Amino acid sequence: MLGMSRSMGMAGVAALSLLAAAAWPPAAVHAKDVTLEFVVWNYSLDTIQDNVRQFEAENPGIKVNVTDYTWPDYHDSVVLRFRGNTTTDVIYGGQDWLPAWAAAGYLYPLDEIAADAIESYKKDLAGFTINDMTYDGHLYGLPYYADTISFIYNQRILKDAAIEVPTSWEEVADAARKLKANGMERPIVYEFNQELPNFYDAFVAQAYGRGGDLFDEEGEAIFNRPDNAAFQQLSWLRDVIAEGLVAFENHESTIIPAMNSGKHAFTIVYNYVLAAMNNKADQPLAGEFALARMPGEAQSTLGFTKFYAITSSAAENRERREAAWKFVDFMAGPPYAVAKRWAIEKGLGFGQLPLLEDPEVIEAWSGWVDMPTLQAQIETARGGTWKEWTAVWAASFRPLMAQAMIGEATVEEVMSQGAERWDALRAQMAR
């Protein structure tokens, strides 16, 4: 048997050598005038690469290398590139990362690269996207992808139970109680995961629906006041959970099959989840789900924006800066062909308002969302309060929210602790 192992070993060594040699091919050499390093998270790389090819064809002399990371590791990987001075010219940015990255000097304001163009583009951008891409009075990006948090309901279930689409949180609770009385065990399904930013974002969207905010214009915490919309919303969540009206899922991807089980009538998730829920390719109840304006007096919601941004290192060199701007302008500027492509082919949301009127976008999206409702929601959506410390603070606030929601702490306690933490971080950053 050992002899057999040895002969196998010899064959193995030969195979190992071949494989090992193939692991180290010579590096390819590119000879172009400017080569931009474009860093993205790996959503739909084929489409990204195809867009890049189109840009390169239209702009001879500029080549774009795409490097991608997985979404959960993207932030840390990009920071590592910044810290390691790895050549990086254009990146996907996010509203929550912008304050820290801009304050650290990693990103360069677009309005200092192409002031006139940026000024003229602003009129086409949704208000929340401008908020999300602005830091210290400067615009740092143009939208790659923008979306809002949606209140989603099952049309068939509501129709069968003769329930009107709720427009306030009290009506949502009443509808849920009626459905529960009719035999639906948990009419609301909620993404409950204190580790995920979505958990906080969805809560802010609900507070916006009520017409309130967690912070005042000076950036001071006001959500610890009992008359504040966020305070009231957390109390509402605590109550409906205590009543047994809410089922928990720990990720938006599991909300999709949960809603498609027909066991829940309402949920609050990003709008792209509605597209997935209504996907006729793989969802049994596709077509039953609809968007409603976020309940509450204001019917506003939270929007978010991921955007193309140019790094400061790219902006240092005139040729790279101009090439990077051309690239960003191609990907996100008028006539918004790339944003339109994402919207039609992949159902990605956008911050460029003219696309809401585009017949091809309307045709593509009408299969899964009511466009007039979406347009109304987008136009009233607001951006979040994004400071250098927001992400750190939100990570500490999410577990507090969770405690209050399941009754392990009072709303008063967690809101008070959350406000203290916010003020402490704010003071620390000011120093």
Partner 1 sequence: MTGRLADRLIVNLAALLVLAFAAGPILLAAFGSVVPDRILFDRDRSVLEGGMTLDNYRYIFTGRLPAAYMAEGANRAMISDAARQVPRSLWNSAQISTSVLALNLLLGAPAAFAFARFAFPRKKPAFLFLILSPLVPAVALVTPIYLLVDGLDLLGTKLAVVLVHTARSLPFTILILSVFFRKLPEELFEAAVIDGCSRLQSFLRVALPLALPAVCATGLFAFMLSYTEFLFSMVLSGDARSRPLSVVMAALARNTDVSWSLLNSAIFIAVLPTLLLVVLVWRYVVEGLLAGAVKG
Positions touching partner 1 (CB under 8 A) are 1-2, 4-6, 8-9, 13, 15-17, 19-20, 22-24, 27, 42-47, 65-73, 77, 80, 83-86, 252-253, 257, 260-261, 272-273, 275-276, 278-284, 286-287, 345-348, 367-368
Nearest distance in Å: CB 232, partner 1 = 31
User: Of 48 and 414, which CB lies nearer to partner 1 in the complex structure?
Assistant: 48
Spatial CA neighbour of 198 closest among 293, 267, 292: 267
User: Of 4 and 430, which CB lies nearer to partner 1 in the complex structure?
Assistant: 4
Nearest distance in Å: CB 277, partner 1 = 10
User: Of 44 and 416, which CB lies nearer to partner 1 in the complex structure?
Assistant: 44
Position 338, amino acid: V
Nearest distance in Å: CB 283, partner 1 = 7
Nearest distance in Å: CB 24, partner 1 = 5
Are 301 and 223 in contact by the 8 Å Cβ rule? The answer is no
Nearest distance in Å: CB 131, partner 1 = 24
User: Of 70 and 410, which CB lies nearer to partner 1 in the complex structure?
Assistant: 70
Nearest distance in Å: CB 275, partner 1 = 5
Q: Where are the beta strands (DSSP E) in 50-203?
A: 62-69, 90-94, 107-108, 134-135, 138-139, 142-154, 188-191
Q: Which residues of 195-219 are buried (b: 16+ CB within 10 A; e: fewer)?
A: ebebbbbbbbbbbbbbebbbbeeee
Question: What is the full DSSP assignment across 206-217?
Answer: HHHHTT--SB-T
User: Of 303 and 418, which CB lies nearer to partner 1 in the complex structure?
Assistant: 303
Burial of 421 (0-12, 13-18, 19+ CB in 10 A): middle
Burial of 68 (0-12, 13-18, 19+ CB in 10 A): middle
Are 321 and 149 in contact by the 8 Å Cβ rule? The answer is no
- Residue 216: both structure tokens together: 């005042």
User: Of 80 and 429, which CB lies nearer to partner 1 in the complex structure?
Assistant: 80
Q: Is the dihedral of CA 9, 14, 18, 20 positive or negative?
A: positive
User: Of 215 and 289, which CB lies nearer to partner 1 in the complex structure?
Assistant: 289
- Residue 260: both structure tokens together: 């498609």
Residue 347 main-chain phi, psi, to 5 deg: 75, 20
Nearest distance in Å: CB 282, partner 1 = 3
Quote the DSSP letter at residue 112. Answer: G
Nearest distance in Å: CB 183, partner 1 = 16
User: Of 120 and 251, which CB lies nearer to partner 1 in the complex structure?
Assistant: 251
Nearest distance in Å: CB 27, partner 1 = 7
Residues in contact with 351: Cβ distance below 8 Å, sequence separation at least 6, in sequence order = 125, 126, 128, 129, 143, 146, 305, 339
Nearest distance in Å: CB 391, partner 1 = 19
Specify the 3-state DSSP secondary structure of 158. helix
User: Of 43 and 124, which CB lies nearer to partner 1 in the complex structure?
Assistant: 43
Nearest distance in Å: CB 16, partner 1 = 5
Q: Where are the beta strands (DSSP E) in 70-166?
A: 90-94, 107-108, 134-135, 138-139, 142-154
For residue 257, is the peptide bond before it cis, meaning its omega torsion is within 30 degrees of 0? no
User: Of 211 and 284, which CB lies nearer to partner 1 in the complex structure?
Assistant: 284
- Residue 103: both structure tokens together: 């304050």
User: Of 43 and 389, which CB lies nearer to partner 1 in the complex structure?
Assistant: 43
